[in-house]
Amino acid sequence: MLASLFLIGASWSLPQGALPPMTSQPASQAIVEDGPDGLTRAANRMTGGIISYVRWPDGQSGARRTLCVIGAPRLTRQVAPIVPSGPPVTVRPVAAADVGGGESCDILFLGRLSDSDRQRWIGWVRDRAVLTITDDDPACVRGAMFCLAPRQKGLGFSVNLDAIGRGGLRVDPRVLKIGQSDEDAA
Amino acid sequence: MSKRPSHPETARTTLQKLLSRFHFGITLFAVALSGLTILLAGVTALRGHADRTLELAAELGAYGTEPALVFNDPQAAREGIEPLTGIPGIARLRVLDDRGRALTEWTSPGEDPAPLLTRLFFPHPFSVPVRRNGSVIGTVEIWGNSSTLTDYVRLGMLAGLACLLVTACGTIILARRFEYELVKPLNEIATVAHDVRLHRRFDKRVQTLPIAELDRLGGDINALLDELQGWQGHMEDERAMLAHRASHDPLTAMPNRAAFDEQLDRRVRAARLRGERLALLFIDADNFKAVNDGFGHAAGDAVLVALSNCIKEALRPGDFAARIGGDEFVVLADTIDGAGDAAALADRFRACADAPMTLPGGDIYHASVSVGAAVYPDDGSDAAALLTAADASMYADKLSKGSQG
């Protein structure tokens, strides 16, 4: 009898104590270190992070990926993704007009482009397993999957779920969640 | 009724109280021991449970904050650990990046109910590394607090207290019953012993008792009472015999002088009270010395026994006869109407005594008696006067016979 009462006591004590949920702060962004290279490093780190959370349908998680830089990046002087223990990335510039030259690209980094070039590239990506990242679309409405954008105190990114849904890539939902909350914040 | 050596009153207790105290003590000990054991076992189990909870929470935190660490995003880290803040028993959370700097930190708004318990059970935070493709990119640290433990202990204490109450009540009732079963037979034995001692009720016996040891004690007491009763009866017989011997003549088995004196006083008083009459007859064997001298003492005794038998036969119910001397007998007869009745009685004695008797030697002897009578209140108003009058009357009778022959 005594033991059963103790068990009852224990089961009562457990569900109790739901603490007030943490209040979410809308302003969120990656910390950008001070200095001239701070933003570049943050952008490259963010690009690398996104790449590391993306799975290509070929299933080779450690396979080398080719990142093609199209147009002039706005936030980074040089695109060099820092991928934490992820796949090695080769960076290759491709001329904005040369859509056929992107045949070997796994990742497109879209810098500043004309609307027509951008639309061409976005159209080219459709039905291909290619990740698109841009730093020239803070609202993330112009077709790229991930959009880097400066925030109040650093750097953030947004996701375009339509674009991700159209593409043939698998993206870790945790990253999508971060991107969405960033989108909300923006 | 001798008093037992007096101890201070406080030193004495009843068996019932003693048993009650022991029972309560044992019950308390047992319940406390089991309660403590269960409480300790529960705390240990709960502590393991809490440890696992913290570990799982840390793993969950590591999973949730991994992208945040990759993107170095404090807001994402905060969101990553947010699901953990609803888990009770977590005091503090911290997410460190690969360089050991805190990306985000959360402290429970609830106060630690027992910091001592927390220090005792959760002295160090749970630290789980956050890995990204095999390399450590950060750490999630979780500090537990004692809230779940104190909740459990508090509820456990309450439950234990309730159990203690219930068990104590139950045990007290059972103990009462047991005490009653034990004390009742003991009381029965004590009552019998008391009755025997105080009222000399040697016929009292202890009834059959349900407890073997007490029944044996009761049986022994009964056996002792049997013996006592035997002794008592024997003593009473002895006393009656002694009393009879003291008041009776051994030869004729008639009352003796002492008994007669007492009887005479009593009857005179009774006659005086009731206004009745009382006759005192004095009977003396004639020439008794000659019987003794001529035929021997055995013959004398035989004559005396024969005379006493004559007197006994002649008596009416209620009359009293005694041998008060060697050959002297007296008879007290109530409600004698007059001297005539007394004279008739005297004649009956004479007639009986005159009957021929065979002496032990074979000789035939005719005894003769002199009888004197005195009637209360005509011849005397008290015992001494009556005796004197009867004596005088008897002597007159004897002398008249002497003058005759």
- CATH number, domain of B26, equals 3.30.450.20
Whole-number pLDDT of residue A9: 45
> Which has more pLDDT, B317 or B59?
B59
Q: Determine the average pLDDT of the residues in B139-158.
A: 85
Instruction: Tell me if chain A has a CB within 8 Å of the CB of B105.
Output: no
Residue B250 forms part of a structural domain: no
Residues B230 and B265 in one domain: no
Residue B222 forms part of a structural domain: yes
> Does domain A30-185 bear CATH number 3.30.2010?
no
Instruction: Tell me if chain A has a CB within 8 Å of the CB of B145.
Output: no
Residues in chain A with CB shorter than 8 Å from the CB of B67 are 49, 53, 172, 174-175, 178
Residues B261 and B221 in one domain: no
Q: For the segment B323-374, what is each residue's pLDDT rounded down to a tens digit?
A: 988 888 898 887 666 556 777 888 888 888 888 888 887 788 888 888 888 8
Measure in Å the smallest separation between the Cα of A35 and chain B Cα atoms: 17
CA A181 remoteness from chain centre: 12
Query: Residue B155 and residue A10: Cβ atoms within 8 Å?
Result: yes
Average pLDDT score, chain B: 84
Q: For the segment B154-198, what is each residue's pLDDT rounded down to a tens digit?
A: 888 888 788 778 877 887 787 778 778 888 888 888 888 888 888
The structure tokens listed for B318 are 């209620």
Average pLDDT score, chain A: 77
**Is the Cβ–Cβ distance between A110 and A136 less than 8 Å?**
yes
Please report, for residues B55, B85, B122, B157, B358, the alpha-carbon distance to residue B131 in angstroms, rounded to integers and kept in the order given.
16, 22, 25, 43, 148
Residues B146 and B108 in one domain: yes
Measure in Å the smallest separation between the Cα of B50 and chain A Cα atoms: 10
- CB count within 10 Å of CB A38 equals 14
Q: Determine the average pLDDT of the residues in B372-392.
A: 87
Q: For the segment A59-93, what is each residue's pLDDT rounded down to a tens digit?
A: 777 788 899 999 888 888 888 888 876 778 899 88
Q: Determine the average pLDDT of the residues in B119-143.
A: 87
Q: Is the dihedral of CA A108, A113, A117, A122 positive or negative?
A: positive
Residue of B nearest to A10 (CA): B152
- CATH number, domain of B277, equals 3.30.70.270
Residues in chain B with CB shorter than 8 Å from the CB of A85 are 132-135
Residue B178 forms part of a structural domain: no
Instruction: Tell me if chain A has a CB within 8 Å of the CB of B294.
Output: no
- What span, in angstroms and rounded, lies between the C-alpha atoms of B246 and B242? 6
Counting every residue written for chain B, the total comes to 405
Domain total for chain B? Answer: 3
Whole-number pLDDT of residue A15: 39
pLDDT band at A12 (very low <50, low <70, confident <90, very high): very low
- What span, in angstroms and rounded, lies between the C-alpha atoms of A57 and B74? 31
Q: Which of A142-146, A151-155, B322-326, B368-372 comes out lowest in average pLDDT?
A: A151-155
Whole-number pLDDT of residue B397: 86
Q: Which domain holds residue B95?
A: 15-150
Please determine, for residue A133, whether its predicted confidence score (pLDDT) is greater than 90. Answer: yes
Whole-number pLDDT of residue B186: 86
Residue B177 forms part of a structural domain: no
B379 is catalytic: no
Please determine, for residue A14, whether its predicted confidence score (pLDDT) is greater than 80. Answer: no
Please determine, for residue B5, whether its predicted confidence score (pLDDT) is greater than 60. Answer: no
**Is the Cβ–Cβ distance between B255 and B248 less than 8 Å?**
yes
Q: Catalogue the E-assigned strands of B274-335.
A: 278-285, 320-323, 328-334
Q: Which of A19-28, B9-18, B62-71 comes out lowest in average pLDDT?
A: A19-28
pLDDT band at A99 (very low <50, low <70, confident <90, very high): confident
Instruction: Tell me if chain A has a CB within 8 Å of the CB of B229.
Output: no
End-to-end CA distance of chain A: 59
Spot the catalytic one: B97, B112, B249, B327. Answer: B327
Residues B232 and B262 in one domain: no
Whole-number pLDDT of residue A23: 33
Q: Domain-by-domain residue ranges, chain A?
A: 30-185
Residue B191 forms part of a structural domain: no
> Which has more pLDDT, B146 or B8?
B146
Please determine, for residue A1, whether its predicted confidence score (pLDDT) is greater than 50. Answer: no
Whole-number pLDDT of residue A151: 80
Residues B391 and B298 in one domain: yes
State percent of chain B over pLDDT 90.
8
Instruction: Tell me if chain A has a CB within 8 Å of the CB of B114.
Output: no
Residue B134 forms part of a structural domain: yes
